[in-house]
Structure 1
Amino acid sequence: MTEEKRVLAFDFGASSGRAVIGRFDGRSIHMEEVHRFANDPVMVRGTMYWDILRLFHEIKQGMIKAHLAGSFTSVGIDTWGVDFGLLDEQGYLLENPVHYRDARTSGMVEEALHCISREELYHLTGNQIMPINTLFQLLSLKQQRPEMLARARTLLFMPDLMNYFLSGVRKAEYSIATTSQMLDAREKSWSRRVLEALGLPVDILPELVPTATRIGKLDAALCEELGLETASVVAVAGHDTQSAMAAVPTEQENFLFLSCGTWSLLGTELSEPVINEASAQANITNEGGYGGKASFLKNIIGLWLIQECRRQWQREGREYSFGELEQLAKAAEPFRSFIHPDAPEFVPSGNMPERIRAYCRRTGQPVPDSIGAVVRCIDESLAMRYRQAALELEACLGRAYPCLHMIGGGIQSQLLCQMTADACARPVLAGPVEATVLGNITLQLLSTGAIGSLREARQIIKASEGIRTYQPEQAERWQAEYQRWEEITSC
């Protein structure tokens, strides 16, 4: 009888986090959530921070609760991309990490392109050029707070920083490093050319380690404090997208996926990055993943739009669950108004429903006059954007994909899944919902040899998870409306 393996996964999203025990009996993976907590940014005197010490406190609580349910052999952490903390010479955190939605990067892309051309920057890094990227955050520090950068001795991305708190080890996991716009995509090493062009320090960047590397063990003092047994700390795919990628339930080498959460990421998995004129024109990114593979994908604002609308309605005293919002959207008139989800005005937090209405006024469309109309506008516009991104990606690769694997929390909206199938004119295979956590657990199991290969892991996930298929039902109508969406959003 195969001995059961137990690991502990921490999955941090932009608004919440959770601790999940993963149990593997040799045939299937079983998950048990033992702790869930809020992850709320904190605005202090005009700067938006992550409350990192509170988050580490929640990690401790999660480990205590997991230990009460039995011992675990390893811990893995995944988070969002691009953000980081800076350590001083003694290894102390200089300040709370700043949120990627903070205004400090305003104008930094333009500043950077005075020092290195857009073409060269993309050619070297293979990254979609976005103001939130680590490179532009560091440039803002150099210009606005040079004394902070001068005191820094080590930069650690969010999952690497939490791993450091757990183990004392300072390493940069490969997948999270590839979100920074500071890595040479082909050489898989820090790009001195990019950093030196912007006058940024190279020596604060730690050693890179491959995805699913056991980097150390839980600190002895931490184990004593919490009453824990020792366990390995595994640098899983620190970027949550790449953890989710490991859980795509397919046996095909060539597949199209859509990870749908606060952000939507649509792409495919390749053996090497694709960096050419077409991918630069489409601003498609190359991220690294398990086994050194490249995820060729497009970053798209996702359920952030609905999440931020919901927060605004809560501030106005109107409480709706996501399920209730979906029902209101389903009842609303179709194809009435569109937005471009990635328009700059939708990136910061704030009154999202009013911004959507303002966009519709500016583009001469009917203004969404109800909550259901606003949510339907978002859902339909996201589905259109997914179609556009899929076509761009296929054009870059010269390849067509017959179906779309849709994973993550967004697939709980059956309406959005069906709209995506119709807009993209291909079947959508939806599941698993918990792709990121499953991938985190899987990568820990791969690090120990409990699972032999990523292919085997995906077969296990496919056999254990319920996958729902959505067939296109109104593809011709959506094709006609897509042309109208393109005309409106190109203004």
Structure 2
Amino acid sequence: MTNAHPIHVGAVDLGASSGRVMVGTIADGRIELTETRRFANGPIPLPGPGGERLYWDVLHLWDEIRQGLLAAVRDVGPLSAVGIDTWGVDYGLLGPSGLLSGQVSAYRCPRTRGVPEEVFAAIPAPEMYSVNGLQVQDFNTLFQLVAESRDGGLPRATPADGGVVSAAGAGSAQRTMLLLPDLFTYWLTGRPVAEITNASTTGLVDARERAWSAPLLERLHTELGVDLDGVLPEVVEAGTVVGPVRRDVVDVFDPDGRPTPVVAVGSHDTASAVAAVPAAGSDFAYISCGTWSLVGLELDAPVLTEASRAANFTNELGVDGTVRYLKNVMGLWVFNEAVRTWREQGLELSYRELDAAAEAADPLRTVVDINDPVFFNPGDMAARIDDFAIRTGQPRPRSVGEYVRCIDDSLALAYRRAMREASELSGKRVGVLHMVGGGISNRLLCQLAADATGLKVVAGPAEGTALGNIVVAARGAGLIEGDLTALRKLVRNSSDITEYAPDPAAAAGWDAAERQLFG
């Protein structure tokens, strides 16, 4: 497609610890990225019923988004489209006037403790999984909404009264739930929608139909008293133009002076990252590698079997009708916490020095189950590795390099197991493993992933989420053309890619490590 003006696409990319606004300039078959604003994010504790609650400062995030978009126009040029992605599950509630009706809870807020058990007592977990295909995490939106209803933030019906709204919930009617990327899109455009890739993290979507599950919503109403009638907005697919940026909100414009269109991209950040996997074919697996490692396959249909549920795989929906069939693996969180503790203890080593020390250490000397709950909370990860090693009859690491090598080896082993399970449960054969995200700067981890899985690893791009956001926004606004394969080719042409070949001689060592740890 020939363009009279440069194509500058704004990508708002929000994470749980930081956010940024990027501009992707598309020209000559490539995308050049420019960061126009970066800012901190994090949950804020406040006292609440039964103890401390955690909330997001969405007004701060909104102001940063506005400032970032204005900086993009000032520093790079008029924007031809804008897309927004964030993490999943969290939402804001709008009141009847369209204003935010209260604080926005953070997913680590303890308000959902015990809620999954309450829900599954009424709607058995296998029945729910057969509809939504979602792994059980107590912060899934469904469980948050049950807690919200219990606290009076939503209409509540007593199941035994035939669905009549109770007095306690009567004043809560006419709410609209917007997941975070949709909330910011609403503030930019005035149109409330639910983009499907993020909506699929709620637990309220029928994974086959790619729509809110009416039977599930009815059961929540009749059996748990949670009335979501009229609360959930229209579902749209990634690539839908939601509307123009309102110039009374933020004065952003396209090259012809018209309001810039806001496109519902793969608004779950992992959906954008997977859209940017620079694969040439379909026989690939992926790892979105950061604080968490999301290990999975791209499928045409969800896997809703009992075996899949028992293995704790999730079916999140992706761009262009795809399914992100994946497992959450504890990622570089363990490494980052270890480094934080060492620095508090006065040990200052650069990431390059730590990676070099790990590469020099003996392979597979000590391996832990990186997904063990002991590694979930903040703290001294080296001490927890020691405890795990003693408990499993392995030698404790003797140096910082051996601790880092243990973490890298353990991550690679988790990748190996998750990929094998995904392939077996889905029936899809895998020929290549793509790694995207900031974690690919750890070259040793990329090589270990190749050795552990026996597959060629293609590492890059590091900025996968932003690039996936940009290409879907550009196509949705009619600025570029092509299917998902064509979009990925554009990403591939715009990225630094490194390939890692597996070492066949390493296979026996990984087999032995897996048998020792998991039997």
- Global fold match (TM > 0.5): yes
1:460 aligns to 2:466 (yes or no)? no
Residue deviations 1:118-138 (CA, integer Å, cap 9, x gap): 110110101122222111222
Q: Rate the CA distance shift 1:366–1:193 in 2: closer, same or farther, 3 A.
A: farther
- Which SS does the other structure have where 2:450 is aligned? helix
Closer, same or farther: CA 225–250 of 1 in aligned 2, 3 Å: closer
Deviation at 1:247, TM superposition (A): 0.9
How far apart are 1:236 and its partner, in Å?
0.6
Which ranges in structure 2 are unaligned for 5 or more consecutive residues? Answer: 156-168
2-structure distance, mates of 1:171, 1:65: 27
Q: Deviation digits for residues 360-406 of structure 1, max 9, x if unmatched?
A: 44444444454433332222111111111111011112232122111
Distance in 1 (CA, whole Å) between partners of 2:496 and 2:293 is: 21
8 Å CA contact 2:244–2:262 kept in 1: the answer is: yes
Where do residues 73-472 of structure 1 align in structure 2 (5 Å cutoff)? 73-143=80-150, 145-147=151-153, 150=169, 151=172, 153-195=175-217, 196-197=219-220, 198-203=224-229, 204-224=231-251, 230-368=259-397, 370-453=399-482, 454-472=484-502
Find out whether 1:66 has 2:98 as its counterpart: no
Indicate the SS of the match to 2:105.
Answer: coil
Stretch moving more, 62-71 or 91-100 = 91-100
CA drift at 1:353:
4.1
In the alignment, which residue of structure 1 is the partner of 2:162? none
Cα separation, 1, equivalents of 2:394 and 2:118: 35
* Structure-2-length-normalised TM-score: 0.87
Structure 1 counterpart of 2:514:
482
- Whole-angstrom CA distance in 2 between matches of 1:344 and 1:62: 38
Any conservation in 2 of the 1:258–1:267 contact (CA below 8 Å)?
yes
Output the CA distance in 1 between the equivalents of 2:111 and 2:367: 30
Deviates more, 1:430-439 or 1:17-26: 17-26
Q: Distance in 2 between matches of 1:341 and 1:202?
A: 38
Contact 1:78-1:159 within 8 A present in 2 as well: yes
Pairwise CA distance, 1:332: 3.8
Q: CA deviation at 1:351?
A: 4.4
CA apart distance, 1:18: 1.4
8 A contact 2:69–2:252 mirrored in 1: no
Please give the alpha-carbon distance, in whole angstroms, between the structure 2 residues aligned to 1:25 and 1:225. Answer: 21
2 CA distance for matches of 1:353 and 1:163? 42
Give the CA deviation at 1:316: 4.4
Q: Residues 364 and 102 of structure 1: is their aligned pair in 2 closer, same or farther, counting only changes over 3 Å?
A: farther
Letter in 1 for 2:425: C
Larger Rg: 2
RMSD (CA atoms): 2.4
Alignment deviations for residues 64-101 of structure 1 (CA, whole Å, 9 cap, x no partner): 21011211122111111111112222222233322222
TM-score w.r.t. structure 1 length? 0.92
After superposing the two structures, state which structure 1 stretch, 214-223 or 310-319, moved more. Answer: 310-319
Relative to structure 1, the CA distance from residue 345 to residue 465 in structure 2 (aligned partners, 3 Å threshold; closer, same or farther) is same
Residue in 2 aligned with 1:25? 27
Give distance in 1, aligned partners of 2:96 and 2:380: 42
Amino acid at match of 2:18: S
| Cα separation, 2, equivalents of 1:371 and 1:156 | 45
Q: Is the 8 A contact 1:60 1:226 kept in 2?
A: no
The one-letter amino acid of 2:275's match is A
Tell me if the contact between 2:432 and 2:458 (Cα under 8 Å) persists in the aligned partners. Answer: yes
Checking the alignment, whether the CA contact within 8 Å between 1:87 and 1:154 is kept in structure 2 is yes
d(CA) in 1 for partners of 2:112, 2:341: 24
**What is the aligned residue count?**
486
- Between stretches 115-124 and 103-112, larger displacement belongs to 103-112
Deviations 1:5-43 (Å, cap 9, x if unpaired)? 111001112221111111112511111111111222222
Match of 1:52 in 2: 58
String of CA shifts for 1:271-292, please: whole Å, max 9, x gaps. 2222223322322111112222
Identity %: 43
Q: Find the aligned partners of 1:80 and 1:56 in 2 and give their Cα distance.
A: 15
Higher mean Cα deviation, 477-486 or 330-339?
330-339
* Consecutive aligned runs of 4 or more in structure 1 exceeding 6 Å deviation: 225-229
SS where residue 128 of structure 1 aligns? Answer: coil
Is the 1:223–1:229 Cα contact (8 Å) retained in structure 2?
A: no
- 218-227 vs 17-26, which deviates more? 218-227
- Give the drift of 1:310: 3.3
Q: What amino acid is aligned across from residue 252 of structure 1 in structure 2?
A: G
